[in-house]
Amino acid sequence: MLTSFHHLFPLLLLLLFKTHKSLSSPSSQTLVLPLKTRITQTDNPTHKPTTDKLHFHHNVTLTVTLTVGTPPQNISMVIDTGSELSWLRCNRTSNPFPIFDPTRSSSYSPIPCSSPTCRTRTKDFLIPASCDSDKLCHATLSYADASSSEGNLAAEIFHIGNTTNGSNLIFGCMGSVSGSDPEEDNKTTGLLGMNRGSLSFISQMGFPKFSYCISGTDDFPGFLLLGDSNFTWLTPLNYTPLIKISTPLPYFDRVAYTVQLTGIKVNGKLLAIPKYVLVPDHTGAGQTMVDSGTQFTFLLGPVYTALRADFVNRTNGILTVYEEPDFVFQGTMDLCYRISPVKIRSGIVHRLPTVSLVFEGAEITVSGQPLLYRVPHLTVGNDSVYCFTFGNSDLMGMEAYVIGHHHQQNMWIEFDLERSRIGLAPVQCDVSGQRLGIGS
């Protein structure tokens, strides 16, 4: 998935939204969209040279299929809570995946660079909007994995769910989308920005809340819910406030979903981490973002080092460290283990210590299988290589903590924009899906 400059391109599944179910009257606009997974193939060799690295890239994206334009065109869009501007791939070059053709839509309206939208509502873009040769508002978006998209801002009719009337939204009509893997890049036909910026999809649509629940299984991957989630059967949520800093700072994303990380526990015991390390400094470096678009969780160097050392100590005698000093999974994860199939079948992952991310008023506890991720196509003898699913932000050149999708599995996560807070509760996503009428 494409992301903003601090935001990582992630995950391990591709989540597609196939059907839409309305739970209430159109006035409340509560919609549930079930997820579907697709695994991206990798080309890594079976035996990894000791001097090589698996560079950071996206393995999984979250997408929703919307109808856009007049007459409507079906387009798949990546959902990204770390980005603001929604965009569609608009070039008409050869592509096996459906892309948006603005010349076929009578409701398509480009935004001139003289408009207030171009001049004032793009203030949170990393690269300022500019004026192209046709005097249209031009946007260039760049991402952490060196990919980018470029094109013009426009207004168009978007339909979501079973709604009859569409909504006129500002988006980017991108003529250029580039990245490190052209074949996979072609599959990205659009992006749905979901952060708190004024031009994000969620802001333009006016939803006061949205939630998601990701199970991490192929049978029922999970769902996205747009609107309120006041269900009597839902476990009470623990809320943590969103952190806002109005002053522009070089390393602080003002429209991200930023919370305050107050500590990290291993088996219930807090690590000895100075509080100041967890708080954004005078440049904004050190913010903590909850991000559905990032696969794993990334911690700044001193905190990662403390967690890594404690985890190694506690797993001594349980797991065998993969002793290849130059091997760093996806360029950020340098703690990996050799594990035999027999040990996996015996349930060794259930002997691992728990890791809890502690926030003001809430926690996310990671245990068992989500603590490790199997490196694709890498074996050492009969052993597979599994890496600890917390990475070092410093190795990415990233001045932030990012709580990734992999560690949000089987959590109901509510983004409450009205009250400026995030709600968390451990749930079984498949059971919650059944209660919503979309589970198996």
Question: At residue 321, what are phi and psi to the nearest 5 degrees?
Answer: -65, 140
pTM of the full structure? 0.87
Residues 6+ apart with CB under 8 A from 156: 68, 69, 102, 105, 107, 108, 109, 168, 169, 171
Instruction: State the average pLDDT over residues 69-75.
Output: 92
> Is residue 20's pLDDT more than 50?
no
> Is residue 276's pLDDT more than 50?
yes
Query: What are the residue ranges of helices labelled H in 8-133?
Result: 116-120
Active-site residue 394, yes or no? no
Nearest to 191 by CA among 301, 330, 61, 341: 61
SS3 label, residue 429: helix
pLDDT in tens, 53-68: 334 444 555 677 788 9
Q: Which stretch, 7-16, 175-184, 195-204, 431-440, has highest mean pLDDT?
A: 195-204
Q: How far apart are CA 321 and CA 317, in angstroms?
A: 10
Q: How far apart are CA 164 and CA 430, in angstroms?
A: 29
pLDDT at 126: 83
Nearest to 2 by CA among 57, 39, 53, 64: 57
Question: At residue 394, what are phi and psi to the nearest 5 degrees?
Answer: -60, -35
pLDDT in tens, 313-366: 999 999 999 999 889 998 889 999 999 999 999 999 999 999 999 999 999 999
Q: How far is CA 76 from CA 65, 66, 202, 311, 428, in A?
A: 4, 6, 17, 40, 27
Total residue count of the chain as it appears in this document: 440
Q: How far apart are CA 336 and CA 374, in angstroms?
A: 9
Residue 22: what residue type?
S
> Is residue 295's pLDDT more than 80?
yes
Residue 105: what residue type?
S
Specify the range with the lowest mean pLDDT, choosing from 20-24, 69-73, 85-89: 20-24
Nearest to 90 by CA among 80, 101, 79, 81: 101
Between 43 and 35, the higher pLDDT residue: 35
pLDDT in tens, 159-194: 876 665 678 999 999 988 876 566 666 667 888 899
Question: At residue 169, what are phi and psi to the nearest 5 degrees?
Answer: -120, 150
> Is residue 283's pLDDT more than 90?
yes
Under DSSP, the state recorded for 255 is T
Instruction: State the average pLDDT over residues 65-91.
Output: 88
Q: How far apart are CA 340 and CA 326, in angstroms?
A: 22
Nearest to 84 by CA among 35, 116, 125, 36: 125
Domains in the chain, start-ordered, CATH in brackets? 59-206 (2.40.70.10), 237-409 (2.40.70.10)
| DSSP code per residue over 103-135 | GG-TT-EEPBTTSHHHHHTTTT-SS--EE-TTS
- Identify the active-site residue in 124, 253, 291, 383: 291
Under DSSP, the state recorded for 350 is G
Instruction: State the average pLDDT over residues 287-299.
Output: 90
212, burial (CB in 10 Å: exposed 0-12, middle 13-18, buried 19+)? buried
pLDDT in tens, 369-395: 999 999 999 999 999 999 999 999 998
Output the average pLDDT for the chain: 84
Instruction: State the average pLDDT over residues 190-201.
Output: 92
H-run or E-run covering 337: strand 336-339
Inter-residue contact 357 to 300 (CB < 8 Å): no
Active-site residue 228, yes or no? no
Q: How far apart are CA 403 and CA 299, in angstroms?
A: 9
Q: How far apart are CA 88 and CA 65, in angstroms?
A: 12
Under DSSP, the state recorded for 45 is -
CA atoms within 13 A on the CB side of 17: 27
Scanning the structure block, which residue is given the tokens 């008409």?
A: 92
